[in-house]
Amino acid sequence: MLLRLLLFCMLATVATSTLAMTLYQSTDANGAVFFSDRHTPGSQAFVIQERRVEPVRRPLLQRPRAVNPRPAYRYPLPWRGGPFRLTQGPNGSFSHTDAKSRYAMDIAMPEGTPIIAARSGTVVKTENSQIGRGNDASGNFVRVQHDDGTQGVYLHLKQGSVSVRVGQRVAVGSLLALSGNTGNSSGPHLHFVVQQSTEAGLVSIPYEFNQPVGTLPNFAAGL
């Protein structure tokens, strides 16, 4: 008896190691279900197979899918000419510290550089008459409402150079004004910021140019 049990165990071990094993199911007169590794009349055969589980391999650099399927808009450089240099970026400690300008970028450029729309939209506000530092820190500016509700603002423009009016539709590359040095400006430059209207008022939001600033002129916009 002991020998038979040992033999059975050995057989079972062999069957398991081959990853497939046949069992026979039978039911006795009392309705109890039995399983055996030997065929008996009326029993039903089962082949038990273990599947080899392949380890799941994920690419190391796989990133989670973005929740928003629309890629973020990348702004072409809003000027003609250059290359110019970025003099203050997002969170710049000089003046990009408040909610309205936190993600603004300052690009130094000679006064009179053509400033063009970096994104299509509708002009919603302009200032064109300020001389020098004046009363408004923004100096002369053009504010364009984009179709997604954000606004692009071009600041410190040259007095009298704004060439668009409120309500006017502008396309990417449309001439808006000439750069200047008006308002709170320590030297000729463009302050370009993208803002979003919130319950707390206008706040700046992060944006990216579609090419590095300070490397190549923006030939795409035409010189």
Q: Where do contacts with Zn ion occur on this chain (CB under 5 A)?
A: 104, 106, 191
Q: How far is the CB of 88 from Zn ion (least distance, A)?
A: 5
Which residues share a beta bridge with 202? 197
Q: How far is the CB of 104 from Zn ion (least distance, A)?
A: 5
- Rounded to an integer, what distance in angstroms lies between the CA atom of residue 178 and that of residue 72? 27
Residue nearest to Zn ion (CB): 191
23/108 with CB nearer Zn ion:
108
Q: How far is the CB of 70 from Zn ion (least distance, A)?
A: 28
Q: How far is the CB of 142 from Zn ion (least distance, A)?
A: 15
29: DSSP letter: T
106/123 with CB nearer Zn ion:
106
85/169 with CB nearer Zn ion:
85
Characterize 44-82 residue by residue with b for buried, 16 or more Cβ atoms within 10 angstroms of its Cβ, and e for exposed: eeeeeeeeeeeeeeeeeeeeeeeeeeeeeeebbbbbbbb
24/102 with CB nearer Zn ion:
102
Q: How far is the CB of 208 from Zn ion (least distance, A)?
A: 17
Burial class (CB in 10 A: 0-12, 13-18, 19+), 137: middle
104/157 with CB nearer Zn ion:
104
CB 97 within 8 A of CB 184: no
Of 81, 176, 93, the closest CA to residue 128 belongs to: 176
- CB atoms inside a 10 Å sphere around CB 33: 8
